[in-house]
Amino acid sequence: MEPISCSNGESHFGLGMMLHLDSRPIGISEGSFGHFGNGGSLGFADRDARVGFGYVMNRPGDRWQVPRTRRLLGALAESLGA
């Protein structure tokens, strides 16, 4: 599947869900899929890691992927040994 250009960056979509890219990680592995939401919220399923994840906050950031979201993904990956 070829990447599409949207939201000022590259994204992959499959059946309405965003697919993992190293530049815009959804989940931990290449088999993950989900969607970012307003201000850094995120929901995804990662088949390879066998985990589902949802994150919302009461003080959203100013864009769809904020630094704390990336830190949470890093901490999740570390805790799973990925």
pLDDT at 11: 63
Residue 16 lies in domain? 4-79
CA 55 vs CA 10, 14, 25, 27, 82: distances in Å: 22, 21, 14, 12, 19
Count of CA atoms in the C-beta half-sphere (13 A) of 35: 7
pTM exceeds 0.75, yes or no = no
DSSP alpha helices (H): ranges in 1-82?
A: 67-79
CA distance 15 to 8: 21
Q: Name which of 20-24, 45-49, 51-55, 69-73 the model is least confident about.
A: 20-24
Confidence of residue 15 (pLDDT cuts 50, 70, 90): low
Confidence of residue 52 (pLDDT cuts 50, 70, 90): very high
pLDDT tens for each residue of 30-47: 888 998 887 778 899 998
Name the domain count of the chain: 1
